[in-house]
Structure 1
Amino acid sequence: MSDIVIDPTTPKASRLQRLRLGRGPTTVAAIAIVVLFALVALLAPLIAPYDPFAVSPRILEGPSADHLLGTDDTGKDILSQLIYGARVSLLIGLAAGLGSLVLGIVVGGIAGYVGGAVDNVLMRIAEIFQIMPAMLIALVIVAVIGRNTTLIAAAVIIALWPQSARIVRSQFLALRRAEFVDAARISGTPAWRIIALEIFPVAFAPAAVQAALDIGRGMLLEAGLSFLGLGDPSTSSWGGVLRRAQPFLTDAWWFSVPAGVCIALMVLSFNLIGDAMGRRGTQGRRAL
């Protein structure tokens, strides 16, 4: 996603409306899918038909009345694993979106408002992270510090924050010399109040768009780490299901396909939501 710059002459009241979503059918469908999976994750203990780690002698059994999505190579119920896996995927995805947003706002805000050498140093650090694939960064961090859910979430945040920082920086650079900011500065308003009350509300909207995209990216990174065997071994995850399903792709389609569909639907849904937020903001700027 390219840096988004808001016109500094735009009235603040108009800028703060940029987070509204369009009401197109794809956006509505994406939101519905996210809400559905969120409910599944919250109600997992109530709706999962089996313990996701409970083994049975019914190995690689196809979908049936007892096991709606069949069983895996150890007799575990696949539907139950996917239901509990939604918790891990959404938790890490939301942590990635929120964490990268917060880190991006702090780093990008300081770089854009202070400028000079501070800006150069912070942006060079961001560029170092950006030139490396996010999966490689997350993989190295998890391999070094450990692989429980908290550490995986931290690794994903570290891999994703630079884009948010660059977006926030671009907003601060554009707005720090805006008329309403100069007026606040001349009136003696402290720098922290200018940042918090004048610039931040304007810079937040485009950063929030990137955060929505980062949720999907975070979920994809978590699935990739689990697929490579670096997921949390104490939890059930969609990527872990896919990893165990590899030897049985041709013989047991029910083992891999549902997990792949879940990952694809969630990542696509958050991408569509982020795209809708971005398009809404662009339309708002053109209308002004």
Structure 2
Amino acid sequence: MTIDQGITKEQDATDPGAAQPDRRQRRWRRPSVLTTIALVLVVLFALAALLAPLISPYDPFAISEAILEGPSSAHLLGTDDVGKDIASQLIYGARVSLFVGIAAGLGSLVIGLIVGGIAGYVGGAVDNMLMRFAEVFQIMPAMLVALVIVAVIGRNSTLTALAVIIALWPQSARIVRSQFLNLRTAEFVDAARISGTPAWRIIAFEIFPVAFAPAGVQASLDVGRGMLLEAGLSFLGLGDPTTSSWGGVLRRAQPYLSDAWWFSVPAGICIALMVLSFNVIGDALGNRGNNGRRAL
């Protein structure tokens, strides 16, 4: 081995930037086929929801004489028990499902960041009080919490989204709290505190960016959970009666499960695909975050 080769190897071993390209490759590798499929499905359903008035073949509430007819050229997914086009109901139903799901993910994320951040950074009695308050919602199933809230405050898409947010936020708060508890004693936080940096700047610019990643993963999972809760509420008859929803289609299809499979199967497939897609995306985000921390 020559002297130049020895010097080059020694520089590679000591230079922290030498491993940078490999780290970037590990952190930003291409998504898996399953994740790509999930992203494509979410985009397609979102486009269908946005373009519903343009692509829907019929008004979702239009009644016809074609009662419980199977799929045909006139009605691609058949008709329901009063002659309404099922495909049109599912296209418009994507609006309600995605609205409630996305609102649930974002709402629980915001509440979780605020409550969990305060509990984790302040600690002590404040932490104990906030976490006991969160446990009030966690000791009961999320569906039961949402059902009680909707029964009390009313039935429309906005109130349903609010009920789902209230049912789901404690998990995000606990995740953020655990991140703040770990990070508030980190060296870079102690250095900022010693230098006289105000507490709000430490929270906003030192701890928050690190704590946001796992909370964002939970928010993605909460979108799927929110859509499932909305479908469950609509199935129980507690959905918005003025809009078409996937859960509402399933509720009306229940008496015809053995006679008209096209009434219930498409709506069930839509719910399953969306919930699974957001779960896959959430898992992919979590795995990418873990790989990135290991690479560092």
- The TM-score bracket by the shorter chain reads over 0.9
Could you tell me which residue of structure 1 aligns to residue 274 of structure 2? Answer: 266
Report the Cα distance in structure 2 between the residues aligned to 1:254 and 1:20, rounded to whole angstroms.
Answer: 42
Whether 1:162 aligns to 2:170 is yes
Q: CA deviation at 1:20?
A: 6.3
Corresponding letter in the other structure for 2:186 = A
The answer (yes or no) to whether the contact 1:19–1:277 under 8 Å persists in 2 is no
Equivalent of 1:226 in 209, 223, 234: 234
Whether 1:53 aligns to 2:58 is no
Q: How many pairs does the alignment contain?
A: 271
Could you tell me which residue of structure 2 aligns to residue 185 of structure 1? Answer: 193
The answer (yes or no) to whether the contact 1:21–1:276 under 8 Å persists in 2 is no
Equivalent of 2:289 in 275, 281, 286: 281
Q: CA deviation at 1:286?
A: 2.2
Equivalent of 1:96 in 77, 83, 104: 104
Q: CA deviation at 1:127?
A: 1.4
Whether 1:140 aligns to 2:140 is no
Could you tell me which residue of structure 1 aligns to residue 203 of structure 2? Answer: 195
Report the Cα distance in structure 2 between the residues aligned to 1:176 and 1:284, rounded to whole angstroms.
Answer: 21
The answer (yes or no) to whether the contact 1:112–1:170 under 8 Å persists in 2 is yes
Corresponding letter in the other structure for 1:123 = M
Secondary structure class of the residue paired with 1:137: helix
| Cα deviation digits, residues 131-157 of structure 1 (max 9, x gap) | 110000000000001011111000000
Richer in helix (by share): 2
Corresponding letter in the other structure for 1:150 = T
Larger mean Cα displacement after TM superposition, 122-131 or 105-114: 122-131
Residue ranges of structure 2 left out of the alignment (5+ in a row): 1-25
Go from structure 1 to structure 2 and tell me whether the alpha carbon gap of 1:21 and 1:88 turns closer, same or farther (over 3 Å shift): farther
Report the Cα distance in structure 2 between the residues aligned to 1:284 and 1:194, rounded to whole angstroms.
Answer: 23
The answer (yes or no) to whether the contact 2:27–2:291 under 8 Å persists in 1 is no
Could you tell me which residue of structure 2 aligns to residue 42 of structure 1? Answer: 50
Report the Cα distance in structure 1 between the residues aligned to 2:265 and 2:237, rounded to whole angstroms.
Answer: 19
Report the Cα distance in structure 1 between the residues aligned to 2:229 and 2:32, rounded to whole angstroms.
Answer: 28
**Which structure: larger Rg?**
2
Secondary structure class of the residue paired with 2:117: helix
Q: CA deviation at 1:285?
A: 2.1
Corresponding letter in the other structure for 1:56 = S
Equivalent of 2:32 in 24, 28, 37: 24
Moved over 4 A (4+): 18-22
| Cα deviation digits, residues 139-193 of structure 1 (max 9, x gap) | 0000001011111000000000000000000010011111111111111111111
Corresponding letter in the other structure for 1:142 = V
Go from structure 1 to structure 2 and tell me whether the alpha carbon gap of 1:246 and 1:117 turns closer, same or farther (over 3 Å shift): same
Go from structure 1 to structure 2 and tell me whether the alpha carbon gap of 1:217 and 1:20 turns closer, same or farther (over 3 Å shift): farther
Q: TM-score, normalised by structure 2?
A: 0.90
Equivalent of 1:68 in 67, 76, 80: 76
Go from structure 1 to structure 2 and tell me whether the alpha carbon gap of 1:23 and 1:158 turns closer, same or farther (over 3 Å shift): same
Report the Cα distance in structure 2 between the residues aligned to 1:80 and 1:173, rounded to whole angstroms.
Answer: 49
Q: CA deviation at 1:126?
A: 1.1
Could you tell me which residue of structure 2 aligns to residue 9 of structure 1? Answer: none
Bigger RCO of structures 1 and 2 (CA < 8 A, at least 6 apart): 1
Corresponding letter in the other structure for 1:114 = V
Equivalent of 2:223 in 215, 218, 222: 215
Go from structure 1 to structure 2 and tell me whether the alpha carbon gap of 1:265 and 1:171 turns closer, same or farther (over 3 Å shift): same
Could you tell me which residue of structure 2 aligns to residue 240 of structure 1? Answer: 248
Larger mean Cα displacement after TM superposition, 183-192 or 212-221: 183-192
Secondary structure class of the residue paired with 1:222: helix
Report the Cα distance in structure 2 between the residues aligned to 1:277 and 1:69, rounded to whole angstroms.
Answer: 35
Report the Cα distance in structure 2 between the residues aligned to 1:255 and 1:229, rounded to whole angstroms.
Answer: 17
| Cα deviation digits, residues 185-211 of structure 1 (max 9, x gap) | 111111111100111001000000000
Q: TM-score, normalised by structure 1?
A: 0.92
Identity %: 82
Go from structure 1 to structure 2 and tell me whether the alpha carbon gap of 1:48 and 1:28 turns closer, same or farther (over 3 Å shift): same
